Amino acid sequence: MKAGPFSGALGALIIGTACIAGAQTQTVTYSVTAINVIAFLGSPSVSVTTATAGSQPTSNTDASTGTWAVTTNQTGSKISGSIASAMPTGLTLSADLAAPSGATSAGFLALGTVAVDLVTGITKLAQGSLAASYKLDATAAAGVVSSATKVVTYTITGGT
């Protein structure tokens, strides 16, 4: 076999490229903005139906129907709750949100048109399946109240 004049040059070139590396760069710009999101599931129902004789009607609690979830990447976020219109006189609707890890729940707080802080100190977490409990209290003076619906508005306020 007769080698052409370029074969030797090619061989040298290939040998010379062994273990040689070529490189290129790309610049990737990225960021993570403040994220504060909540979600509530379920449609809880509470009804006052009985009393102990001599006492105010017995409050009723639904602690199993509602759940909530939260994701925040900030420190010290909080959840507040309110209702659009006041409850009838003698009736009190309260909410209690279970606290995610490291946060603090205020326990049952009466809901009104002014938002109340239900959970505070929520810091950099993503957690779901947290209990959202509701309680209805009624005084005898409230009388009979037919079924009604209240929309509870929850708001997450970012921390720092």
Partner 1 sequence: MEGWVIRCRRTFLLAGILLLPGSRMPGQVLTVSGNPAALNITTAVAGSQPTAVSNNSTTYTVLVVLSSHITAQLGSNTPVGVTLTINLAAPTGATSAGPVALDATARNVVNNITNVLPQTRSITYQLSALASAGVISSRMATVTLTVVTGP
Nearer to partner 1, 22 or 54 (CB): 22
Q: Cα separation of 152 and 66, whole Å?
A: 12
Longest dimension (CA), the chain: 118
- Which residues in this chain contact partner 1 in the complex, by CB under 8 A? 1-2, 4-7, 9-10, 13-14, 16-35, 37-39, 68-75, 124-129
- In degrees and rounded to multiples of 5, residue 150 shows phi and psi of -125, 135
Q: Which residues are bridge partners to 127 per DSSP?
A: 70
Paired tokens of 53: 């004789």
Nearer to partner 1, 33 or 50 (CB): 33
Least distance in Å: CB of 146 to partner 1?
34
Least distance in Å: CB of 60 to partner 1?
28
Nearer to partner 1, 57 or 81 (CB): 81
Least distance in Å: CB of 78 to partner 1?
15
Least distance in Å: CB of 150 to partner 1?
22
CA torsion 111→116→119→124, rounded to 10°? Answer: 130
Nearer to partner 1, 17 or 64 (CB): 17
For residue 83, what are the CA distances in angstroms to 87, 112, 114, 151? 9, 5, 8, 6
Residue 142 DSSP class? G
Nearer to partner 1, 6 or 141 (CB): 6
Least distance in Å: CB of 41 to partner 1?
10
